[in-house]
Amino acid sequence: MSWYEFLLRTHTEILERTLEHILLVAASMSIALAIGLPLGIYLVTRAALQRWVIGAANVVQTIPSLALFGFLIPVPWIGGIGASTAIVALSLYALLPILRNTCIGIAEVDPAVVESARSMGMTSRQVLWQVQLPLAAPVLLAGVRVATAMCIGVTTIAAAIGAGGLGVFIFRGLAMVNNQVILAGAIPAACLAIAADAGLGYFQRSSARR
Amino acid sequence: MSSLSDGLQSGYAVEFRGTSYRLPSGAPLISGLNLAISRGETLILLGRSGSGKTTTLKLINRLLEASAGEILVSGREIRTWNPIELRRGMGYVIQDAGLFPHWTVERNVGLVPTLEGWPRERILARVNEMLALVGLPPEEFANRRPSGLSGGQKQRVGVARALAADPPILLMDEPFGALDPITRTDLQREFRALAKRLQKTIVFVTHDVREALFLGTRIALLDQGSLVGIYTPSEFLKASEPQVHAFAASLDVDGTHEGAQ
């Protein structure tokens, strides 16, 4: 089959799978951010607890992704076959870079600046939102960038537990020994990763310039 | 903040009564400090590194909480002050200025007025007034970032920021310590004139005895967390305490103590 014929026949599915892929990544990243940012902020001033939590996140990170999906399948409520299990696993993966970079980013803000902010009569909340977070933004965004790129990659594997996404083409193509089908998943997935990285890299640089 | 100004109508601006500060480990940094700072004076906290002068300064705006004894600000025990309100009534300038690098000079200077909810036009007018006061033409500097300023300019912005909401008290921690000698002398001269004009209560930390003698109405000498004594500049040069001698001797390069200043 020529590429033209192939694309004519499968372009709607490619679009659907790409959208599915983006939704899986977006859902997982939202959860990871919703947990990682506040938790990271909370942990900045609690060194001992921070070591434990980041240690635990590190352990999760070292589990191979397919194994983590496997571990989660028998877990009640969150487990089973499908997208929800994948989102849980992907969020866990994305958590570490976000958590670690939130802690590092805030801790690296010049203590003299934070001290003068407090001395001028800013409340802790004002210091956090107007001084610490904006100044930590480049490091924080670097964490989000790493997490997003990784998440897009690992999401292709989530197809193995029936989560959908572009991995569906890759696994199907492998089973069919059909390069066209493999590439129909691999090329859009690679493009997504590159585009996300470039986009977030732009944000990161512009936040550093401010 | 208004209440902080009101309280200053009479009595001392800041008063330490048997104040001590210990680290959580128990190590004492300040012990049994008795010191009364009058309204409108420039009191220098002079001492070597580790003498407790910065600690003393941070006790005044509750960046640190005293372990024992009392501190009165405008006649009121410091623990009864809301720390936020207390700090907004005290300008604060530190060695590397502590400007917010992600804000323009204008926003930096307007910080406390903004926190206090002043209307925008009034903040802008005040920022321009303050920048002019510290010798920085607003049209040239208002939109710059701190990274585009020299060390001396940063300190000027730091002073402008500290004065913006017209606080009755100014706390300064070696504000001119990191500047080259020529810039430092310029700023010291200008600051002395400014202090005379503004009639603020200024608590000024330094280890530079020359600066202490030049700027201070009185000098409180600290050594290892204790007060050695309080002197006017002329008393300081005649004082007999060995700690004072050590500082006075650092003034003259050729070893003839008499010729100092």
Q: What is the mean pLDDT of each run of 10 residues along chain A (210 residues)?
A: 85 90 94 94 87 86 86 81 87 90 91 93 93 93 92 91 89 91 92 93 81
pTM > 0.90 = no
pLDDT at position B10, please? 55
Is A121–B98 a contact, with Cβ atoms under 8 angstroms apart? no
pLDDT at position B261, please? 41
Is B98–A115 a contact, with Cβ atoms under 8 angstroms apart? yes
Which chain A residue shows the shortest CA-CA distance from B104? A210
At residue B117, the 3 state secondary structure works out as: coil
Is B84–A112 a contact, with Cβ atoms under 8 angstroms apart? no
Q: Has residue B102 got a pLDDT over 60?
A: yes
Copy the structure tokens of residue B34.
Answer: 């008795």
% residues pLDDT > 90 (chain B): 66
Quickly state the pLDDT bin for B253 (edges 50, 70, 90).
low
Whose CA is closest to B218, among B11, B71, B35? B35
Which chain B residue shows the shortest CA-CA distance from A111? B98
Of B22 and B10, more confident: B22
The mean predicted confidence, pLDDT, of chain B is: 88
Quickly state the pLDDT bin for B259 (edges 50, 70, 90).
very low
| Mean pLDDT calculated for residue range B118-123 | 94
Q: Does B157 touch chain A (CB under 8 A)?
A: no
Quickly state the pLDDT bin for B8 (edges 50, 70, 90).
very low
Copy the structure tokens of residue B227.
Answer: 């007060």
- Cβ under 8 Å to B: A residues 85-114: 110, 112-113
User: Residues B136-168: pLDDT tens digits?
Assistant: 999 999 999 999 999 899 999 999 999 999 999
Q: Has residue B2 got a pLDDT over 50?
A: no
pLDDT at position A67, please? 87
- Best interface-test mutation with A: which of B57, B109, B111 has the largest number of A CBs within 10 A? B111
Q: Does A127 touch chain B (CB under 8 A)?
A: no
Is B94–A116 a contact, with Cβ atoms under 8 angstroms apart? yes
pLDDT at position B1, please? 44
At residue B93, the 3 state secondary structure works out as: strand
Is A121–B94 a contact, with Cβ atoms under 8 angstroms apart? no
Option in A113, A119, A126 nearest B92 (CB): A119
Copy the structure tokens of residue B226.
Answer: 């204790």
pLDDT at position A51, please? 87
Is A115–B95 a contact, with Cβ atoms under 8 angstroms apart? no
Which chain B residue shows the shortest CA-CA distance from A115? B98
pLDDT at position B22, please? 92
- Best interface-test mutation with B: which of A114, A116, A130 has the largest number of B CBs within 10 A? A116
Which chain B residue shows the shortest CA-CA distance from A125? B84
Which chain A residue shows the shortest CA-CA distance from B113? A120
pLDDT at position A26, please? 95
Residue indicated by tokens 């983006």: A22
pLDDT at position A209, please? 67
pLDDT at position A82, please? 81
In the 3-class helix/strand/coil scheme, how is chain A assigned residue by residue? CCHHHHHHHHHHHHHHHHHHHHHHHHHHHHHHHHHHHHHHHHHCCCHHHHHHHHHHHHHHHHCCHHHHHHHHCCCCCCCCCCHHHHHHHHHHHHHHHHHHHHHHHHHCCCHHHHHHHHHCCCCHHHHHHHHHHHHHHHHHHHHHHHHHHHHHHHHHHHHHHCCCCCHHHHHHHHHHCCHHHHHHHHHHHHHHHHHHHHHHHHHHHHHHHC
Q: Has residue B177 got a pLDDT over 80?
A: yes
Copy the structure tokens of residue B13.
Answer: 């601006």
At residue B8, the 3 state secondary structure works out as: coil
Cα-flanking dihedrals φ and ψ of residue B61, to 5°?
A: -105, 20
Q: Does A121 touch chain B (CB under 8 A)?
A: yes
Whose CA is closest to B176, among B36, B44, B88? B44
Contact B55, B30 (CB under 8 A): yes
Contact B216, B43 (CB under 8 A): yes
| Mean pLDDT calculated for residue range B67-82 | 90
B117 to chain A, closest Cα gap in Å: 12
Q: CA-to-CA distance for B151 and B109, rounded, in angstroms?
A: 16
Sheet holding B42-47, edge to edge: B90-94, B169-173, B201-206, B42-47, B218-223, B226-231
Copy the structure tokens of residue B160.
Answer: 């402008």
| Mean pLDDT calculated for residue range B215-221 | 93
Q: Has residue B58 got a pLDDT over 50?
A: yes
Q: Does A76 touch chain B (CB under 8 A)?
A: no
